[in-house]
């Protein structure tokens, strides 16, 4: 079995697939859809089991991942390819409106690899297209960050913003503390709690350990 398949089967069984799906459905409807026009062409980079791409509205949806189990979890309207994030050669240059990635960059081996990914994403984005990045902020998640065997690259909202600038992007939105670090714990996730959390940015400052950055090509 592919190493990624082994790791994520373990993590999803701990968290609960239904729990993750339910939470992401609310996150997409109540927050992320605000940044994705419904008529846009969208890529979910390292799409995993489709938590984001299955619940977001777009006119054309791409998904890429190296986990062979990913495709079986994706909606039929997602054009999936098993490929590394630095090789998006199946997608034409200047053809995508939005690229989203969640909890992915920390799995890259170093900043050189991150630069390569950001360059390839920039190639496929249309002029004015945007990349949306959600990930653990090492400034606030420094204790838990290294609990995952496949975490290598530690980024904060500040260091990633600089990296985006160097890669030719203009950061437009930088939220240093947005979502809690993980769902793989006993923190309650009732639907109404998620909705209230998204409406109260003060709660983000108390509980958030992930950044959310939107940057324009």
At residue 17, the pLDDT reads 73
User: Once rounded to an integer, what is the mean pLDDT over residues 13-37?
Assistant: 88
Answer yes or no: is pLDDT of 111 > 90.
yes
Q: Is the pLDDT of residue 129 over 90?
A: yes
Note the pLDDT of residue 182.
74
Average pLDDT for 130-159: 95
Residues 118-143 have a mean pLDDT of: 97
Tell me which of 59-68, 72-81, 179-188, 208-217 is least confident. 179-188
pLDDT at 151 exceeding the cut of 80: yes
**Got the DSSP string for 159-193?**
HHHHHHHHTT-EEEEEESS-S-S-SSSS----HHH
Q: Is residue 28 within 8 Å of residue 9, measured between CB atoms? A: no
Unique residue bearing structure tokens 């979910």: 44
Read off the pLDDT of each residue in 9-35 and give the average, rounded to a whole number: 82
Please tell me the predicted confidence (pLDDT) of residue 20. Answer: 84
pLDDT at 153: 97
**Looking at beta carbons, which pairs linking 160-166 to residues 24 or more positions away fall under 8 Å?**
160/105, 160/133, 160/135, 160/211, 160/213, 161/213, 161/215, 163/111, 163/114, 163/115, 163/118, 164/118, 164/131, 164/213, 164/215, 166/115
Question: How far apart (Å, rounded) are the C-alpha atoms in residues 191 and 25?
Answer: 10
Distance separating alpha carbons of residues 123 and 96, to the nearest angstrom: 9
pLDDT tens for each residue of 9-21: 555 555 567 888 8
Helices (H), the chain: 3-15, 17-30, 111-124, 157-166, 191-199, 201-207
Mean pLDDT of the chain: 92
Which CATH superfamily hosts domain 3-216?
Vaccinia Virus protein VP39 (3.40.50.150)
Q: Tally Cβ neighbours within 10 Å of residue 3.
A: 11
Nearest to 86 by CA among 53, 64, 54: 64
Q: What percentage of the chain has pLDDT greater than the value 90?
A: 83
Listed by start position, the domains of the chain span: 3-216
Asked if residue 101 has pLDDT above 90, the reply is yes
């Amino acid at each position: 079995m592919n190493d990624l398949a082994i790791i994520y089967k373990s993590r999803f069984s701990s968290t609960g697939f239904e729990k993750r799906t339910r939470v992401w459905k609310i996150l997409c409807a109540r927050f992320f859809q605000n940044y994705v026009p419904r008529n846009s062409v969208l890529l979910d980079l390292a799409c995993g089991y489709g938590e984001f791409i299955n619940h977001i509205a777009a006119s054309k949806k791409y998904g890429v991942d190296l986990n062979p189990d990913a495709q079986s979890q994706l909606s039929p309207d997602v054009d999936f390819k098993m490929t590394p994030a630095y090789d998006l050669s199946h997608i034409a240059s200047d053809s995508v409106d939005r690229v989203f990635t969640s909890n992915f960059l920390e799995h890259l081996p170093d900043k050189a690899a991150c630069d390569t990914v950001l360059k390839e994403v920039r190639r496929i984005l249309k002029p004015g297209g945007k990349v949306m990045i959600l990930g653990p902020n090492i400034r606030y998640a420094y204790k838990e960050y290294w609990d995952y065997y496949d975490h290598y690259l530690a980024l904060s909202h500040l260091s990633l913003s600089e990296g985006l600038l160097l890669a030719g992007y203009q950061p437009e939105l930088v939220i240093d503390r947005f979502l809690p670090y993980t769902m793989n714990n006993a923190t309650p996730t009732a639907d109404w709690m998620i909705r209230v959390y998204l409406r109260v940015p003060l709660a983000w400052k108390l509980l958030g350990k992930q950044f959310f950055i939107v940057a324009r090509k």
